[in-house]
Amino acid sequence: MEAPTMRQRFEEYIFGLQEEIITSFETLDPNAPKFKRDSWQRAHQGGKGVSGVFFVPPSTDGSPGQQTILEKAGVNISVVHGMLPPAAIKEMRADHSSIPYDGKTSLPFFAAGISLVVHPRNPHAPTVHANYRYFEISEKAAEGEGTGKVVAWWFGGGSDLTPSYLYDEDARHFHTTLQKACNQHGSELYPVFKKWCDEYFYIVHRQETRGVGGLFFDDLSTEKHARLSEDIKRPRSSEEIFDFIKAVGNSFVPSYLPILERRMSMPSTDQQRRWQLIRRGRYVEFNLVYDRGTKFGLKTPSARIESILMSLPETARWEYMTDMGSDLESEEGRLIAVLKQPVDWAGSENL
């Protein structure tokens, strides 16, 4: 019996992680509607997935409706394969020189990932996002020979926290939990991936980060990495990198659930709800203008648009020249100050 491939092992892992995460939210709010599990097949090309989506149907009589802990959430998995066109191959060769390229030939690819976004109802409870993925490119096999030899593979992912109201203990807990997961595989990983996260989730036209950050990484493979020095301890083999992915993936529930439990029942005002919706507007701006995954998905033929736009909040707000957040002594202004100048939440001065 042949050993399972990395494709099979990663797929098994993310389906298990999806169920663990959804179950943790359903257990936290047992009276809320269950997540809708929506299985799908990719038309015309190969692939499948399961979207685990939470929403509360609107009331039909004008009443406020059920007051659940979550307002909207999605924990989605996609496992797809097909042919990668030459233009995409050329772009990927910048970080993966082992990919063959002649300017004319498309190559088989495989991509699997879990992506989640959670928007809680309470303005004091932060939004959270996480994504873990595996990508593989193969040689074009001769007709009738099945899959060709794998010529390039890599892992990517991350997790980040987006509060409307800043609680230092929440940011410290989130970051130190991620740091501990990273440190099992090298003490240099967390600071590099934390900095990368602050840079990636930056809303250029607002000159602020989307939230208080976390981790962001991509292109982890046996090849040299543009952001990681060759002389540091880090995962290098496929086994070591997969172990790292599992460590940070498994850290999601302990990094976020204690924060949600602390904030989900706090009293809040209409003004705090207003600010939450303004911040969700910023979330929408980043996702539609800058997020690579969203932009790539919207350009992909036969893309599953509902899954791509799952990350957007149910409700958001834009105000012309809003005054909220301009007073640096206010709670809203305190958040803005941190979004303008990211903090080393896992540093010794914050412990």
The alpha carbons of the chain give a radius of gyration, in whole angstroms, of 21
Q: Compute the distance between CA of residue 115 and CA of residue 78 in angstroms, rounded to an integer.
A: 9
Rounded-to-integer distance, Cα 136 and Cα 92, Å: 11
116 forms beta bridges with 75, 130
Element (H, E) at 44: none
Distance CA 332, CA 5 (A): 49
Question: CA-CA distances (angstroms) from residue 306 to 27, 81, 118?
Answer: 26, 19, 16
Integer CA distances (angstroms), 175 to 82, 100, 283, 323, 347, in order? 37, 39, 20, 30, 9
129 classed as catalytic: yes
What's CA 7's distance to the chain center, in Å?
A: 20
Displacement of CA 101 from its chain's centroid (Å): 30
- Token digits of residue 116: 């989640």
Q: Which of 124, 129, 175, 185 is catalytic?
A: 129
* Active-site residue set: 129
